[in-house]
Amino acid sequence: MLGYADIRSALCELTKECHVLWEENKDMQGRFVNDLAELQSIQLAITQFEHDHRFRNKTFRSDRLAQARASMCEMQRKASQLYETLSERRCSLAQKLNDGVHNVALLQNQLISDRLFDWKNRQKLAQVGVPFENKDQLLDEIQFE
């Protein structure tokens, strides 16, 4: 079983990792939203080109329409890849947060089961005459942690 210091250290490390993952996810989310906005503008341009092309059958419009469609397909591919990466990162962040909750539960259990139990036993022994020095200080330490 991990000691209190080990669990606390692991929790601190997980906190740092979660912060880094959170910032990366936030940045990636922003890029994804920007890509979607660009994709929407390309789709709007294609719709406009198609509308114009119906009324004026010109070859340069057809070339621009094909170019816009190719650009849209490329943007869709990039947005799809970014979405997959973002989903993976979100799952990773959720797993790290779950690990953190597990470590908090371990710390809580250790405090309640070990340290508080030990304090209670010392308190009981003090009632029958065994010296129990620093009892207030020990209780304060338990409450602080």
In this prediction, what percent of the chain has a pLDDT beyond 70?
90
To which residue do tokens 């908090």 refer? 104
Contact 76, 46 (CB under 8 A): no
* Domain ranges across the chain: 4-144
For residues 76 and 116, the model is more confident at 76
48-92 residue pLDDT tens: 877 776 656 655 567 777 888 888 899 899 999 999 999 999 999
Contact 97, 25 (CB under 8 A): no
Rounded to whole angstroms, what are the CA distances from 119 to 13, 49, 114? 29, 78, 9
Q: Which CATH class is domain 4-144?
A: mainly alpha
5 is written with which tokens? 């210091």
**C-alpha count within 13 angstroms, C-beta hemisphere, residue 79:** 16
27-51 residue pLDDT tens: 999 999 999 999 998 888 888 877 7
To which residue do tokens 């371990």 refer? 106
Cα separation, 139 vs 59, in Å, equals 84
Cα separation, 16 vs 7, in Å, equals 14
Of 94, 78, 119, 126, nearest to 22 by C-alpha is 94
pLDDT for the residue 121: 83
pLDDT for the residue 56: 64
